[in-house]
Every structure is written in C-alpha cells, then in structure tokens.
Amino acid sequence: MSPMSLQSTKFKTGGRSEDDLRNQYNHKRNYTGPPRDQLSRVKRDVIQLWQKMSVVDPSDLENIQRSIIKHATSTLARTVFNVDNFAAYQATAHSVRDFLIERWNVTQQTHTLKDPKRVYYMSLEFLLGRSLDNALLNLKVKEKYGTALQSLGFRMEDLIPEEEDAALGNGGLGRLAACYMDSLACLEYPAWGYGLRYTYGIFKQHIVDGHQTEFPDYWLNYGNPWEVPRLDVVYEVRFYGHCTRYTDALGSERWKWEGGDKVQAVAYDVPIPGYNNHTCLNIRLWSSKPTKQFDLSSFNAGNYEKSVEEQQRAENITSILYPNDNHNMGKELRLKQQYFLVCATLKDVIRRFKKTNRPWADFPDQVAVQLNDTHPTLAAVELQRRLVDLEGLEWDEAWDVVTRTFAFTNHTVLPEALETWPVPLLTELLPRHMAIIFDINLYFLQQVEKKFPNDRDRLRRMSIIEETTPQRVRMAHLAVIASHTVNGVAALHSALVKSLIFKDFAEFFGDAKFTNVTNGITPRRWLNQANPPLAALITQLIGGGWHKDLGELKKLAKFADDAKVQEQWRAVKLHNKQRLAELIHRQSGLTVSPDALFDVQVKRIHEYKRQLMNILGVIHRYFSLKRMTEQQRQRDVVPRVVVFGGKAAPGYYMAKLVILLINNVAKVVNNDPEVNKYLQVSFIYDYNVSLAEIIVPASDISQHISTAGTEASGTSNMKFVLNGGLIVGTVDGANIEIGDEIGKDNIYFFGALAHEVEDIRHAQRYRQVKMDPKLEAVLAVISSGQFDTEPPAATVTGTVHGPAGTPSASPSPTMFLTGPGTQVVAPPTTKQFGPLIQTLTTGGDFYLLSHDFSAYLDALAKADAEFRDTKLWTRKSILATAGMGHFSSDRSVAEYARRIWHIEPCPMEAPETVASQLAAGDDE
C-alpha cells in the first residue's frame, strides 16, 4: 500500500457523521500537517480544489512575469511608475519564495506520510548569505527569471546586490551549517535545521581611523522575504525559578520546576531548496518574545519605561549573536540564548514525534540530533529533564534514550578553549538543569571509578564539574558523555580529539565512539554561484555532473597542459580579479592592478590564525622593496596586492589591535610612491558571504597559516582551492588533506608540525631562544612607533639598512623569547602596538611566529617565483581545482547520514504529481 492510500483508511466516527468530522478537521490548525491516520478526514473535493489553485509552473515565462507583477502591486503596493531596484528585488524574491513554499509543503507532506527517521541539526549559527541567486540556481530558473525581469525593465545583476546578507552567523561554524543544510536538501535527506533569529546579527564592521568600529546590523529593517513567520508556532521557555520535590501517583519521587520568568519562542521558517530536485527543507529560527508585551497599569501610572521592560528583556535574548561576555550580564545572556534554542527546539521535535504515537524507546529510531559544537549541549540535559520530570520515565530509561539520540561535532583543538559555565550562574538561571548535571556527573564518575579504581586524578580530569573557584561546568565533557558519537572535522583534528582533547574519554568509551568527518563546502554556492565563468568553463570541458558529484572534477586534470584551456582559465581568473579590484576601489578608493599577484587572507581575526604574521611579513617585504633600486624592483619583484578581511570579536582587544596595525601599514605602503607599484595592502571591511563570493574566485594565493594543531579544519581553504587559488599554509587542519588530494607540489607548506609545537614552546619558555632576526627587525620598526596612527617625527623612510633581508629602525639589543637571561628591547616608543610586541617577547610567542617566520617568507618567495612562470602557475591552478572532489559537503553529509545519523534519503516527486495523488487518493 502506498502512503497515498491512507486517503481511504477507516476511522471511528464516535456516532458522528464522517462529513461532520471532516468539516471539523478542515478548520483545525496542525503545525506540520495531520497525523497519518487522520488524512482521510479531509474531503477529496477540497483537496482537489486546493491543489488546482496552488500548483504553479516556474518554467513558464508568462507565469513568472505575472507572479512578479502581482507581488509588486499587491504585496508591496507599488505601481509600474514607482518600482525601484529594491522593490523589484523584493517582488522577485516573493515570487521565487512562492515556488519554494510549494516544494516545502510537498516535502513536509511526504515526510509526514512516509514517516522516516529525521535529523535535526542544532546550531547557534547559520551563515546563509544571499538567498535569491542561490534559489534561482538550485531551481534552475535563473535564466528565465532574468528574461522576465528584462522584459519588465530590470536587470538581474542589479537586483541581486539589493539583498542584505542574513545576519545569522559569524564565521566558519555558521557557514558550515549552511553548507550542510544545502547538501541535505540536495541529497534529499529528511532534515530540519534549528537556530536563532538574531535581530541585529553580530555587528556591522566599519573602519574608523584604522580601528574596527561596531554598529548594529539592521538586516531586518525592510523585512525578510525569505522567511515565513509561524506566529502560531509558539513555545514557552522558563528561566530562574525553583524546584519542588513531590511523589507522583505511582509512588515515584519527581521534581517540578516552577516560578521564575517565562518568554515565548516564536518560529520563523527559512526554506532551503535542493539542487535540481523537488525537495525543499527548512531551517526553523526562534525569535524571543515576551509573554506579556505591554504593562498597561505601569503605563497609566506614568512609569513608561517599566511598561515595556518585560518586552525588552525578552527580546534581548535574540537581539545579538554572541553578546560580549566580558561582563556577567553578557555571560548570562549567552547562556540564555543557548537554553532558549534547545528548549524550543526539543518541544518542537517532541511534538512532531508524539504525532506518531510511538513509545519513548523508539525516539532515537525516529530522531537524530546533531550538536554543532558545544553551544546546544544543554539539549541533552533538557531532554533528560522532560523525560524524567514530565513524561514519567525512570532515570536509566530516559538516559538510554538521550545517549542514543545525540551526536556531537567538536570544532575546537585547544583544550583551554573549550566552553565552560560557572556553576552559580547555571544554578540561578536553570536550577533543575544544574541538579541534573550533578546527577549525570555522579553516575558517570561512578562508572569511571569502577573501570579505573582509585585513579583520583582521572576522576578530576573527566568530571563534568571543574573544581575551580567558582566551580565550572565543562560543556564539552557533558556533550561527549551524552552523545553516542563524537566527531572531529579533519583527519589531524580527529586524531588530536582522541590523543589530546578527550584522551581520557577515548580510553573509557573506546575508539569506536570517536570518528572523523572532514568538513566540506557546497559546490552550488562556492563554484556555481560564486564563480559563474569558471563553472561554465568546467561544464564546457567535463559536463555538468560536478554540481552533484564533485568527484567529476578529476576529469579536469587532463586539460592541465592544454594551451587553449590554460588561456581560458587565465581569462576567467583575470575577470574575477577585476571584480575584486572594483570592490576594493568602491570601499577604499584604492586602485589595484589585476595583473598583480592577489594574496588573500580573509577569516575571523584571531591570534591563532596569525593575521599578525601576515602583516609582519608585509612590513618585511615593504622594507626589502625600499632598499632596492627602481631597476632592481622592475627586474626582480612580482607586484603583489595583499588583501585582508574579517571581524574581531568586540571584546577581543588583541585581534582589534591587529586590525589597526593592518590598516596603519596599508596607509603607509599605499601612499609610498616608491613602492606602491609593487606592493599594496587592502583591508576589506564587513566581510561576509556575499563579499566572499567576490574575493574567493579572485585569489592567486590564499593564506591559511594557523599554528599547527590549532585549526580544527577550516573551510575557506577549500573554497579558495576549488576556485583555482593556491594555498600558502601550515601543516594544519584540512590543509593536510587538501595537499594529499591536489598534490603537495600544488600547495606551499611551511612551519612547525603539530607534534613539534609543545617542544618548541617548552624551549621558548625555559631556554634562551633567540628571535628570528628578520622578525626582530620588523618588531623594531613597529616598536619605534612608525606605524602608529600618529607616528613620531622620524618617518619610515629614515630607517637604517640592516643585514640582507632585514630592516631595522635602529640598532637594538638582541631579542629573546622568554627564558633565562631574557633581554627585551627597551620599552617601545609605540603608543599603540606595545601589547602585540609583548606577545612575541615577554609573552613567550605562544603561536610560534618567530619559529615559523623565515619559513613563511621562503614559502611566499617560492610562490612569487612560480607565479612568474604563467604556464606552470596555470597548470597548478587547474590541478588544484581538479583535486577538490573530496571536499564537497555532499560527501560529508552522506558520511554523517550513513555512519552517525543512520538516515536514508526520502526523494520527492514533482508537486503536481503529489497533488494529483493526494486529490485522487491513489491505492497502488
């Protein structure tokens, strides 16, 4: 019997006519459709009429034109005389959304009918980027929409930039989640994404006098046509309060959490279309609202601020992504965000599960929950609370359900960077959850003690509770204990997970619990959408199968030495570099040559990512150029444009200082007529997905230079190489696997290896280790204040010439890293960059800039030399792209589905087919 045959399923009438029951059901709202056994209650003629009126054809040009005009005139209340580009974008977006929602409805109906096991991807971030271009490409209607818009007086290329990036993420974590949702839809797995709807995103970045300055991101000011408000899907979320113990009807001791504050979680749905199929998945985002929006009595009493106090307090929860946690209020708000997400999500998941009338023991057979890092870890505690306190399960029975439901992806390498929360804060905000965490910890440590008797230090290391003052909850430990599978995101990272980060847990649970799923990126966004000329060339050469099977790219290798293909390849790269040059000019007024080598590092600003080493290398290059004659520069120098981009967390002082140094160096270099034909520096502000789609295809080299063993994986490295850029990078994260796939001749590796790092740090700390002389000379220049916003009277042009390859501002004592007999230059003259210098001297150079600096410069020099050989460079670029088939997020998601989630694809039929089957009530 097919799922559609459920139309004829018999049901009990309870003495009432079937028409009465059907009519009653027709007007009853159900969040995700009726349960399977109630489908027959909807009248067949009603179904037929609804389907007749709702099925639309996005392939018909006139239909598209009619849809756009309808939304312009009806949805936006515009006329042909006052529709500007933004209004035309909005009308087009609503038109496309109509087609997506039709597919979304069919997808949800099919999932309800077939009732497959679903995966729920919980992430505090979803960095989606723009949706219009992506939706048009995935629906394969971009050309038709372009024609329709042209006939209406608009150009597609003018409308796409009108869309604001959805401010729902910050960096790689959120972009990875977005790629995975795209792949889940492309591969037609039954899945939901769950996150938060941030009103103001993280922040808009502006550069003021070289400094990062943060402003709210008002991305929702004009509405968001890509979301569907579900104002009737609302759940209460409790904070604070107290716990009361009582005995239930069966004599079991139970706990009740009551009192405190309540807020409402309101659902907003974002459709995620699959590529060239009929599946449309959903990301459900929660927005926080008050249970009571307005206190009229306070208002009438003249206390106007108090009248809206509850509303403001509630809405703060989803106002900002990652509020500054340098103070207690910020910490509390972050923790509120995490619980708000998991509480609303689990209520929604449980409601959907209960529709199937299955026993709780079947919950893990129908539900897989993936924790994207530690942020949603409280979900495990919340599920245990609901099962024990509200559903009446015994502790062990409930815990078995929990540990078979959750899987955990760890994205952190450094143990000291793992998330922890103060016990007093958790106790105040979530008292019942803190009690449950203590119980989980006790029962777990009893098992550890049984396996490793009298090993008290092991108990201390493995405890969820860190015995500091105050005590802290180790969220990663909780996630590992509560999950059936823990995965790292690159081969090296996953090895470190077992050997370093969670070594004790691997010994306790065994290696089988820990696995690797190397990250991936969606080729639909990062090649087809971001680089249309290259996508078209690749399709011309090898066909279009790579859109859904990136392994097809290996066929490009045979064209690596083809002169005609090389010429076409270079023309595409030049086109993309011209686009980036235009972006740089729009932002800063700087004119750069697309014939120069474009050297790019764009990512979140952090000390371990070593943007500092990059700008120190730029300073070294600058002074090397200053020492040359013009004839030497013309003969020996490869002109270079160095591009930076990325945001620093608002409270991260050192990262913001690096941004200031980059901008101050850029000011000096770009205004030096002697040098600026050979070296220019640009900081692209407010880096986001849409800017990345311009920057990534334009790179000749990109830098991924984190200290070995500190980058879990990285995905920007994959995006650059997929688009034919070469990497200058350390042997870290996914760089290693990229090198294995594309060939180590096509990547510029340098620097310490992960297993060497601790020994190097030990030597730097306890022995007299001299600083690299090239780095020492660069620091001397910075120390002199010559790159300050207001430099001292002596200018950079007055530097003295140091030994070959090294600049120096003035003779200075030898610099040592910390150790016996440490000597450091006299207190720096610089009024701004002293803290950066101290991280490399008295701070011990934790991220090994001195150790890696000369090797880093050598790698850049090698790239320079090979860039001169146009044929060799183009060959490397083609082979790099050809080797990237392994790094598709489709491959990653398929591994998760097969090895961790144990779910199967659920293919969709065309909407009109499903409509006719539902209307006819087929019995196959």
**Could you report the per-residue pLDDT of 349-373, keeping only the tens digit for each?**
999 999 999 999 999 999 999 999 9
Q: What is the 3-state secondary structure (H, E, C) of 802-860?
A: CCCCCEECCCCCCCECCCCCCCCCCCCCCCCCHHHHHHHCCCCCCCCHHHHHHHHHHHH
Q: pLDDT grade, residue 822 (50/70/90)?
A: very low
Residues facing 421 on adjacent strands: 473
Lowest-confidence segment of 217-226, 407-416, 795-804, 891-900 by average pLDDT: 795-804
* Amino acid at residue number 4: M
Residues near 518 by beta carbon (within 8 Å), at least 6 away in sequence: 489, 490, 491, 713, 734, 737, 886, 887, 892
Q: pLDDT grade, residue 306 (50/70/90)?
A: low
Query: What residues are labeled active site?
Result: 411, 603-604, 609, 715, 719
pLDDT at 307: 58
Here the tokens at position 440 are 């989980």
Lowest-confidence segment of 200-204, 258-262, 410-414, 599-603 by average pLDDT: 410-414
Lowest-confidence segment of 223-237, 285-299, 389-403, 515-529 by average pLDDT: 285-299
Scan for tokens 């106090």, then name that residue. 309
- Segments of 197-252 assigned E as strands: 204-208, 211-215, 228-239, 242-247
Q: Which tens digit of pLDDT belongs to each residue from 744-794?
A: 999 999 999 999 999 999 999 988 899 999 999 999 999 999 999 888 764
pLDDT at 302: 66
Q: Which tens digit of pLDDT belongs to each residue from 96-132?
A: 999 999 999 999 999 999 999 999 999 999 999 999 9
Here the tokens at position 472 are 């802290």
pLDDT at 40: 59
The Cβ of residue 526 has, within 10 Å, a number of other Cβ atoms equal to 28
Q: Which tens digit of pLDDT belongs to each residue from 183-231?
A: 999 999 999 999 999 999 999 999 999 999 999 999 999 999 999 999 9
Tell me the mean pLDDT in the region 843-867.
Answer: 97
pLDDT at 413: 86
361 versus 815: the higher-pLDDT residue is 361
Residue 404 pLDDT > 90, yes or no? yes
Q: pLDDT grade, residue 909 (50/70/90)?
A: confident
Q: pLDDT grade, residue 262 (50/70/90)?
A: very high
Stated length of the chain: 924
Scan for tokens 């027959």, then name that residue. 40
Dihedral pair phi/psi, residue 451, rounded to 5°: -80, -35
pLDDT at 813: 45
Cβ atoms 648, 659 nearer than 8 A: yes
The Cβ of residue 568 has, within 10 Å, a number of other Cβ atoms equal to 18
* Amino acid at residue number 44: R
* Amino acid at residue number 6: L
Here the tokens at position 72 are 């312009």
Here the tokens at position 475 are 């969220």
Cβ atoms 482, 371 nearer than 8 A: no
Residue 812 pLDDT > 50, yes or no? no
Residue 806 pLDDT > 60, yes or no? no
Q: In this structure, are strands 261-273 and 280-290 parallel, antiparallel, or unpaired?
A: antiparallel
Mean per-residue pLDDT of the chain: 89
Distance CA(803)–CA(814), nearest Å, equals 14
297 versus 446: the higher-pLDDT residue is 446
pLDDT at 818: 52
Q: pLDDT grade, residue 799 (50/70/90)?
A: very low
Q: pLDDT grade, residue 920 (50/70/90)?
A: low
The Cβ of residue 860 has, within 10 Å, a number of other Cβ atoms equal to 24
Q: What is the signed CA dihedral for 881, 883, 884, 890, rounded to 10 degrees?
A: 130
Cβ atoms 212, 644 nearer than 8 A: no
pTM higher than 0.75: yes
Residues near 683 by beta carbon (within 8 Å), at least 6 away in sequence: 207, 588, 644, 645, 659, 662, 663, 666
